[in-house]
Structure formats: structure tokens, C-alpha cells
């Protein structure tokens, strides 16, 4: 195996030295074109991708100040920030950067889809599939009766979590319907945020894409734990199983949205960007107010049109 100084990366074309490209992590040695190199790449690429995503979630969750400073201002670079698995990672690649914001966003949505299948399996194993369908039907009946009284017509209710009957797809669809709200909120906050020099013009908007990714990742983990606990707990008491699973998902899956989406920017952005906390708080609160008004309009439009997406 040989390595030439200043050799071009076969994948991205960047000039570099050593065993791996500093830009994309591809091998720069002669084995890159060999069968061994190809097999190695098939194994290492998914692993380095998983490490990159894990580092993204780790930094934002546990080192938010360093994350915000590096992402918004950019002088340090994400690759240099501490990560517990950096030693293992260094054996695979020198490129220890984080996942891009919208790729992280997509991966998190995939995790939600996977946990949807786990939840459906837990309900089926516990033997409550028919009961849950009956409960959903009774809930829809109540909505229809209320709609008839208030608006004089029945509603066409589209429950995205049951749209196709295939749990992974339905779980992803239900979450995707809410994603437009997250992205719109991010756009409004970015627009209202004080305009100061940052590493990239859309850095604030991208932060919120990362925030949604970490929130969805935590939600997926909380829902997975709730699903695993549901089977043994429901054997003793269905009510207790539902309450405990709901509490876990609320505490670890939904409350973090308040932290990463509203409180964390207000706490850490001022020190990083050099602006007042009041200005950042006004941007966040303004974004929430605009989204609240939009949600009211969308809800009223659905109720009057007779089409409700849940």
C-alpha cells in the first residue's frame, strides 16, 4: 500500500495527503481501487455516516454552546470538537465532521418510521390491536358528532398515522405533516433574528433543522422505550401501560422541543452572536406567534372545508 503526497481524491477530487481525504473521508492509498478497498468502503461508509450523525446529536444535546459557536461562526470547525467515539472513528477516517442539517433531518424522520413499526408490533403482541382500532373509531365518531353540531356537516377525517395500514410509512407521514410547521417556524425566526456576521447566511435556519433532528431522535428513542415497556406492563394493566408510555414519550420526546426550539437559542445565541438576549427572545417569540396565527387559520380552513388531517 502506498500513499503519495498531494494526490487527488478519487471521490471528490480534493488534493490531500495521508490515507484518507480530509474533505470526504475516501481512501487515498492504492487499495482504494482494489477489491479489498471496495469491500472496506462498503462497510466503513455506513459506519462513518452513523458516527457523523451520532456526533451531531451528541454535540447539540450535550455541548450546545460549542455547537452553536462552531456552526454559527465557524472558526473552530466541527471536526475538532470532542466526541467520545473519536478514537474509534480515527481508525476509519480523518474526516470527523457532522452530518449536514437536512440529511440529519431525513435520518431522524427515518428513525420515526422505524419506531412506528415497533409500536405497531408491541400493540399486536400484547393483543390489543382490535381494541385500539375500536378506540380510534369511537374518537372519530365523537369528532363527527361535534362537527355536525358546530358546522352543520360531517368531516372527512384523514388520520395520517393510519393512512396506509403500513406502520413505518404511516408513522413517517404523521410526523411529516408536522414538519412544515417546524420549518416555517425556523424560517420566521431566521427572518426576525438580528442580522450579524455568521459563517453562512442560512446558519440560523440550519440550526433549527438540526434542532428538529435531535428532537425527533429523542422522540424515537422515547417511543421505542415506551413500546418495549408496553408489552409487559399491559399484561398487568392496560391503563397503566398507556399512561406510563405516554408519560415517557411526553417527557423525553416532546418537552425537548421546547428546549431545543425556543430556550436553547435564547440562552446561547446571544453569547455567540454578540447580540442582546432580548433581541433573540423577540425573534423566537415572534416566530411562535406567527406560527400560532397560521395554525389557527389552517385549523379553521380545515373545519370549514370538512377535511381534517390528523
Per-residue pLDDT band at 23 (split at 50, 70, 90): low
pLDDT at 3 over 70: no
Q: Confirm whether 40 is domain-assigned.
A: no
The confidence score (pLDDT) of residue 21 equals 63
Flag whether 210 is in a domain: yes
Domain annotation covers residue 41:
no
DSSP output for 78-99: GGGS--TTHHHHHTT-S---PP
The answer as to whether 148 is a domain residue is yes
Instruction: Tell which wins on pLDDT, 81 or 165.
Output: 81
Mean pLDDT over residues 44-65, rounded? 89
Strands (E), 224-267: none
pLDDT score recorded for residue 13:
58
Q: Which residues, 6+ apart, have CB-to-CB distance to 213 below 8 Å?
A: 56, 57, 101, 104, 105, 107, 108
Q: Whole-angstrom Cα distance, residue 68 to residue 49?
A: 21
**113 burial type by CB count under 10 A (0-12 exposed, 13-18 middle, 19+ buried):** buried
CA–CA distance, 70 with 14 (Å, rounded to integer): 23
**pLDDT surpassing 60 at residue 33:** no
Spatial neighbors of 68 by CB under 8 A, at least 6 apart, are 207, 264, 268, 269, 272
User: Alpha-carbon distance 264 to 237, whole Å?
Assistant: 38
Q: What is the pTM of this model?
A: 0.77
- Where does residue 68 rank: exposed (0-12), middle (13-18), buried (19+ CB within 10 A)? buried
Helix, strand or coil, per DSSP, at residue 242:
helix
- Regarding whether 173 and 75 lie in a shared domain, the answer is no
Q: Which three cell numbers stand for residue 224?
A: 421505542
Confidence of residue 41 (pLDDT cuts 50, 70, 90): low
* pLDDT score for 35: 47
Domain assignment present for residue 39? The answer is no
**Which pLDDT tens digit goes with each residue over 169-209?**
777 777 777 777 788 888 888 888 888 887 777 888 899 98
Confidence class for position 11, pLDDT limits 50, 70, 90:
low
Residues 214 and 76 reside in one and the same domain: no
Domain shared by 151 and 78, yes or no: no
Shared-domain flag, residues 19 and 127? no
Per-residue pLDDT at 31: 47
Is 8 strand, coil or helix?
Answer: strand
Of the two residues 95 and 268, the one the predictor is more confident about is: 268
For residues 177 and 284, which has the higher predicted lDDT (pLDDT)? 284
Same structural domain, 151 and 201:
yes
Residue predicted with more confidence, 123 or 157: 123
Q: How many domains does the chain have?
A: 3
The last residue of one of the domains, among 73, 98, 123, is: 98
Tell me, what's the pLDDT at 38? 55
- Whole-angstrom distance, CA of residue 67 vs CA of residue 57: 10
What is the rounded distance in angstroms from the CA atom of residue 157 to the CA atom of residue 268?
Answer: 41
% of the chain beyond a pLDDT of 90: 18
**Mean pLDDT, to the nearest integer, of 76-85?**
81
| Residue whose entry in the numeric block shows the C-alpha cell 410526523 | 175
Whether 179 and 282 map to the same domain: the answer is yes
Residue 153 shares a structural domain with residue 286 = yes
Tell me the C-alpha distance between 110 and 68, whole Å: 25
Higher pLDDT pick, 235 / 164: 235
Q: Are both 176 and 199 inside the same structural domain?
A: yes
Q: What is the CA radius of gyration of the chain?
A: 23
Kindly state whether residues 90 and 122 are assigned to the same domain.
no
| Residue carrying the nine cell digits 433543522 | 209
Lowest mean pLDDT: which of 167-176, 214-223, 275-284?
167-176
Residue 38 forms part of a structural domain = no
CB 227 within 8 A of CB 305: no
Tell me: do 169 and 195 sit in the same domain: yes
Residue 64 lies in a domain: yes
Calpha distance 68→45 (Å, rounded): 27
Same structural domain, 156 and 172 = yes
Mean pLDDT of the chain: 80
In a domain, 152, yes or no: yes
Length of the chain: 310
Categorize the per-residue pLDDT at 56 as very low, low, confident or very high, splitting at 50, 70 and 90.
very high
Q: Which domain holds residue 2?
A: 1-33
Residue 281 has pLDDT above 90, yes or no: yes
How many CA atoms are closer than 13 Å to the CA of 148, on its beta-carbon side?
A: 7
235 with 134, same domain? Answer: yes
Closest Cα partner for 104 from 150, 165, 59, 149?
Answer: 59
Report d(CA 260, CA 60) in Å as an integer: 9
- The pLDDT of residue 123 is above 90: no
Amino acid at each position: 500500500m502506498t500513499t503519495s503526497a498531494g494526490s487527488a481524491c478519487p471521490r471528490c477530487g480534493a488534493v490531500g495527503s495521508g490515507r484518507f481525504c480530509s474533505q470526504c473521508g475516501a481512501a487515498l492509498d492504492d487499495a482504494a481501487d482494489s477489491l479489498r478497498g471496495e469491500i472496506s468502503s462498503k462497510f466503513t461508509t455506513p459506519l462513518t455516516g452513523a458516527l457523523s450523525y451520532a456526533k451531531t446529536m451528541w454535540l447539540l444535546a450535550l455541548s450546545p454552546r460549542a455547537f452553536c459557536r462552531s456552526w454559527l461562526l465557524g472558526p473552530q470547525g466541527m471536526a475538532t470538537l470532542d466526541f467520545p467515539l473519536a478514537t474509534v472513528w480515527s481508525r476509519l477516517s480523518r474526516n470527523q465532521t457532522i452530518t449536514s442539517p437536512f440529511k440529519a433531518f431525513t435520518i431522524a424522520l427515518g428513525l420515526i418510521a422505524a419506531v412506528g413499526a415497533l409500536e405497531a408490533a408491541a400493540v399486536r403482541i400484547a393483543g390489543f390491536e382490535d381494541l385500539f382500532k375500536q378506540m380510534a373509531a369511537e374518537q372519530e365518531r365523537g369528532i363527527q358528532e361535534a362537527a355536525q353540531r358546530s358546522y352543520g356537516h360531517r368531516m372527512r377525517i384523514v388520520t395520517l398515522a393510519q393512512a396506509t395500514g403500513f406502520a413505518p410509512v404511516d408513522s413517517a407521514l404523521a410526523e411529516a405533516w408536522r414538519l412544515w410547521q417546524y420549518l416555517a417556524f425556523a424560517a420566521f425566526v431566521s427572518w426576525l433574528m438580528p442580522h450579524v456576521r455568521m459563517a453562512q447566511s442560512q446558519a440560523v435556519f440550519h440550526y433549527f433543522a438540526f434542532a428538529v433532528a435531535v428532537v425527533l431522535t429523542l422522540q424515537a428513542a422515547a417511543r421505542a422505550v415506551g413500546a418495549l415497556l408496553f408489552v409487559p406492563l399491559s399484561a398487568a394493566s392496560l391503563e397503566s401501560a398507556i399512561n406510563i408510555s405516554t408519560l415517557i414519550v411526553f417527557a423525553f420526546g416532546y418537552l425537548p422541543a421546547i428546549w431545543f426550539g425556543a430556550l436553547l437559542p435564547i440562552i446561547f445565541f446571544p453569547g455567540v452572536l454578540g447580540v442582546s438576549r432580548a433581541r433573540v427572545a423577540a425573534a423566537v417569540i415572534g416566530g411562535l406567534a406567527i406560527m400560532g396565527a397560521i395554525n389557527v387559520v389552517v385549523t379553521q380552513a380545515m373545519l370549514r372545508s370538512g377535511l381534517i388531517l390528523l
